[in-house]
Structure 1
Amino acid sequence: MLFERLLKEADEHNIRVYENPLSSKIKGLYGDGIVWLNRRLPTSIEKSCVLAEELGHYHTSSGDILNQKDIRNRKQEKRARNWAYEKLVPLEKFIEAYEAGVCNRYELAEFLDVTEEFLEQAIVHYKEKHGLFIQVGKHLVYFEPFGVFHLFNE
């Protein structure tokens, strides 16, 4: 299961993960080698998405970035989210889903073990990064409209 794999990765980096009741607006926090997840998160899938973002902070952020009015802090927040998108939704997984017969975004989110909202934001991230599409091996992954197409050999 994805959540357990992320917990193992956190442990490998000596990051402790705790679940505590937090403000309803806060899903998770990272600081000084500790991740706090909101105990009120309803599913392990949502916990995985939040934990991935908090691990993204470990890998990409520095300092106190709680004040999101500061553009530098917002940039660090975005970097951490982007890290999480690429961790949980790598481009190759779109192709695996296509080859497995996944037909819609709901099924794709289920296949990837992420929330639909997280999937949507990952697609937005890839569109910002690569434009409307990118070639991955013998496939084209289109971000708008979303789809995967197999390229034929000449």
Structure 2
Amino acid sequence: MNTYECLQDEACRDSINVIDYTFHSDRIKGLYCDGTVAIKKDMNTIQKTCTLAEELGHHHTSVGDIINTNSVQNRKQERQARLWGYNKLIGLMGIVRAFNAGCQNQYEIADYLDVTEEYLQECINCYQSKYGICTTVDNYVIYFVPYLTVTEMI
């Protein structure tokens, strides 16, 4: 079972319907509303995975209609939903696992984690704004600048 199918199963267990939908705007990849996630129909499975993770993040973290991005509160909820998705698909330990598996660049890390390179970069940017230059997890230091790298503490 691939990551997208696992997320669909998780959504089903949480009584969330996931449907493919033809959006009339290229800007919209997915929407969550009242227990239903609509995913843009003409994306590949990896793109759908990243989109579904964020939309599930809205289910778990957002309240009300947050379409209006002029509202600071709505932007905060959008960020929380994205962070939920990043943690679900990637997480700090996912980055460590990728490096331990021999991944040496962002393409390989994204491929290993079953996400797009764009989604991985957005995650790194988010983690950098949250943690700063680096953070530690277990026996590892994850550096976000000047580029993503992991070192094991001795």
The normalised TM-score by structure 1 is: 0.95
Q: Distance in 2 between matches of 1:97 and 1:79?
A: 24
Q: Where does structure 1 differ by over 6 angstroms across 4 or more consecutive aligned residues? A: none
Equivalent pairs counted in the alignment come to 151
SS of match in other structure, 1:69: coil
For 2:104, the equivalent position in structure 1 comes to 103
Q: Are 1:36 and 2:38 counterparts?
A: yes
Q: Is 1:10 the equivalent of 2:11? A: yes
Report the equivalent of 1:73: 74
Residue number in structure 2 paired with 1:131: 132
Shift of 1:40: 1.7
CA RMSD of aligned residues (A): 0.9
* Deviation of 1:134 (Å): 1.1
2:149 pairs with one of 136, 147, 150: 147
Cα deviation for residue 135 of structure 1 reads: 1.3
Unaligned stretches of 5+ in structure 1? none
Q: How far does residue 25 in structure 1 lie from its aligned partner after superposition?
A: 1.4
Partner of 1:82: 83
Paired AA for residue 100 in structure 2: E
SS in structure 1 opposite 2:127? Answer: helix
Q: Partners in 1 of 2:98 and 2:40 — Cα distance?
A: 30
Q: Determine helix, strand or coil for the equivalent of 1:114.
A: coil
Please report how far the alpha carbon of residue 61 of structure 1 lies from its aligned counterpart in structure 2 after TM superposition: 0.3
Can you give the 5+ residue segments of structure 2 that lack an aligned partner in the other structure? Answer: none
Give the TM-score, by structure 2 length: 0.95
